Chains A and B, each alone.
Chain A
Amino acid sequence: TQLLEQSPQFLSIQEGENLTVYCNSSSVFSSLQWYRQEPGEGPVLLVTVVTGGEVKKLKRLTFQFGDARKDSSLHITAAQPGDTGLYLCAGRRDISNFGNEKLTFGTGTRLTIIP
C-alpha cells in the first residue's frame, strides 16, 4: 500500500502564529486533495491540486503540490481557533480493475489553535 506521511502528527500553536503541515510520499499521484475533519464529523474537502508546482490559496490557507507530484504542503497564516481540526491529505491513484481512481489518505495532522 502506498503511504502518505504527514508531519507533524500533532501541532499546538497560539492564535495569530503561522504554521506549515507537510504531506510526503515516494509515489507519484495524479492529484492531491486536502480535507479538514472536525470532531464528530466526516472529512470535508478543502482543495484539490492537480499540476506539479501548483499553488492554491483559500483565504489564509495556501496549498502547494510538489513539482514531482509526490508531496504537498499546507501553510496557514495568522491561525485562528476556527482552524482547529484534523487535516488530511489524500492522493489519487489509479489501481482498480475498472480504471477508476481511488484515494490514498495521509496519516493526518491534528492541529489545535490556542486562543
Chain B
Amino acid sequence: DVKVTQSSRYLVKRTGEKVFLECVQDMDHENMFWYRQDPGLGLRLIYFSYDVKMKEKGDIPEGYSVSREKKERFSLILESASTNQTSMYLCASSLGTPDTQYFGPGTRLTVL
C-alpha cells in the first residue's frame, strides 16, 4: 500500500514564526502536492512538484514556499506565519499524471 506520512498531526505556532511542514511518500512517486483545506472551500492547491528540485505554483502560493531535495520528501514552508494560514494542510503524491493521488492524514496548523 502507498503510504504518505506528514511530520505532525497538530501544530500550534505564533504569528511571524517560520514553519516547516514535512511530507514523505514511500512508493517512489514522481509527483507531490500540497493543499490546504478549509470548510466550504474544499481543497486548494498551494504548490506541486513533478520532479526533484522542480516546483510549480498552484492556485494559492502566496505566503508559502516549497522544497524538494529528494524524490520522497516534499516540504512546505511558511516563511512568516500569519493567522490566515490557520488551516488543515494535506500532502499528496501520485505516480504520474493523470493518476490517482494518495493523501497523507493532514496537519492541522493553528497560528496564534
Residues of A within 8 A of B (CB): 1, 4, 6, 9, 30-31, 33, 40-45, 48, 88, 90, 92, 96-98, 100-103, 105-108
Instruction: Determine if B103 and A1 form an interchain contact, defined as CB atoms under 8 angstroms apart.
Output: no
Q: How far is the CA of A102 from the CA of B101 in the complex (A)?
A: 10
Known: A41-B105, A42-B106, A100-B50. A105 touches B98 (CB 8 A): no
**Chain B residues whose C-beta falls within 8 Å of the C-beta of A96 in the assembled complex:** 48, 56
Instruction: Determine if A108 and B56 form an interchain contact, defined as CB atoms under 8 angstroms apart.
Output: no
Instruction: Determine if A40 and B97 form an interchain contact, defined as CB atoms under 8 angstroms apart.
Output: no
Instruction: Determine if A106 and B42 form an interchain contact, defined as CB atoms under 8 angstroms apart.
Output: yes
Instruction: Determine if A31 and B106 form an interchain contact, defined as CB atoms under 8 angstroms apart.
Output: no
Known: A1-B59, A103-B45. A42 touches B90 (CB 8 A): yes
Asked whether B58 is an interface residue with its Cβ less than 8 Å from the other chain, the reply is yes
Write the B70-112 contact mask toward A (1 if CB under 8 angstroms, else 0). Answer: 0000000000000000000010100001101111111000000
Smallest CB separation, A18 vs chain B (Å): 25
Q: Which of A42, A103, A105 contacts B104 (CB 8 A)?
A: A42
Asked whether B11 is an interface residue with its Cβ less than 8 Å from the other chain, the reply is no
**Chain A residues whose C-beta falls within 8 Å of the C-beta of B97 in the assembled complex:** 100-102
**Chain A residues whose C-beta falls within 8 Å of the C-beta of B58 in the assembled complex:** 102
Q: How far is the CA of A90 from the CA of B98 in the complex (A)?
A: 13
Instruction: Determine if B42 and A88 form an interchain contact, defined as CB atoms under 8 angstroms apart.
Output: yes
Instruction: Determine if A4 and B42 form an interchain contact, defined as CB atoms under 8 angstroms apart.
Output: yes
Q: Which of B39, B45, B48, B105 contacts A42 (CB 8 A)?
A: B105
Asked whether B12 is an interface residue with its Cβ less than 8 Å from the other chain, the reply is no
